Amino acid sequence: MFKLRQMRKEDWPEVANLIYLSTNFWYQTHGRDRIFRGLPEDALLFCQVYHDLEPGCGIVAEHERSGMIIGSCFYHPRETHVSLGILNVHPNHFGDGVAGAIVDAIIRFSEEQDLPLRLVSSALNLDSFSLYSRKGFTPYAVYQDMYVQVPKQGLDTEGFPLENVREADLEDVSAMGALEFEISGISRERDYCYFIENDTGIWSVSVYEEPGGGIEGFLVSVNHPASNMLGPGVALNADVAATLIAHQLDQHRGRSPVFLVPATETALVQKLYGLGAKNCELHFGQVRGESQPINGVVMPTFMPETG
């Protein structure tokens, strides 16, 4: 009924339309608001970013009779792991085994690389959770999806030591990699370079650095019609994480960026409520293979997927 093949650049418009349609369909049919509010072509962002980071790491499911793309997924090999990115199936083909076949192909790739496979998936989508659970993924973290409607005049950030936050530069990349490895056991220095270089003009990267000390946290954000989020980022503790979030939120004045924080970080969550944050969803961090316990605060995102 369908065949899997590598995604090609000429597939991008059809894949973007599939991402837009499939994601919005699932949320709207489950009583929630649509995720993508702009145009379908806005979702080309996913194709472009994954291509920029690692060309050729996209899979599509092509209907054998019509030639229509009915499923797609990105994956991202990194130094310490492989990440499974956004996975979509056309609503007319839910239940046809498309998602399972795509995940199996990416599992084979990660096994060939002898690397764990990681993802962040919605806790509200039990079909998705069941798929990953059957494929051997295990949850290791629960994240609260939160958002803040940032006033046009900016946030009241009194009490946050923003003087310790500065814009990241390429000289920070090694320290950022070492910090993330210390906190969560993963590293992806090519990603940091891409964010900091910011050739597309949509990324912002901040680091938290005590005077005379080393980097204690960093946080990325993206501002695009298809994705307005904070993350990825890590921090040694809740205070550092809260300060980085406050700093990045204030750069999105007049917007409502979404960000993920560990549900177990009670002090951090309370600080964010104090900034006016509200909950909008829950996500699981999941891994197939080995992972180390998290020793700090991890703030993941969906694009590019971070596990």
pLDDT digits (tens, 9 = 90+) for 218-254: 999 999 999 999 999 999 999 999 999 999 999 999 9
**CA gap 176, 233 in Å, rounded:** 9
Q: Which domain holds residue 164?
A: 144-299
How many independent structural domains does the chain possess? 2
Across residues 129-145, what is the average pLDDT?
Answer: 97
Across residues 120-146, what is the average pLDDT?
Answer: 95
pLDDT bucket at 307, cuts 50 / 70 / 90: low
**CA gap 261, 283 in Å, rounded:** 10
Count other Cβ atoms within 10 Å, centred on residue 121. Answer: 20
278 and 159 inside one domain: yes
78 and 200 inside one domain: no
Residue 302's pLDDT is 86
Query: Is residue 125 domain-resident?
Result: no
pLDDT bucket at 63, cuts 50 / 70 / 90: very high
Query: Is residue 221 domain-resident?
Result: yes
284 and 230 inside one domain: yes
105 and 149 inside one domain: no
**CA gap 13, 9 in Å, rounded:** 9
**Range in 32-41, 52-61, 145-154, 264-273 with the lowest mean pLDDT:** 32-41
pLDDT bucket at 106, cuts 50 / 70 / 90: very high
Query: Is residue 304 domain-resident?
Result: no
Q: Do residues 138 and 287 make contact, with C-beta atoms less than 8 angstroms apart?
A: yes
Residue 304's pLDDT is 87
Across residues 69-74, what is the average pLDDT?
Answer: 98
151 and 103 inside one domain: no
30 and 155 inside one domain: no
Backbone angles phi, psi at 261, to 5 degrees: -135, 150
Mutual orientation of helices 189-197 and 173-184 as an angle, nearest 10°? 140
pLDDT bucket at 30, cuts 50 / 70 / 90: confident
State yes or no: pLDDT of 305 exceeds 90.
no
Residue 213's pLDDT is 85
Query: 38 or 249: which carries more pLDDT confidence?
Result: 249
pTM of this prediction?
A: 0.95
Query: Is residue 61 domain-resident?
Result: yes
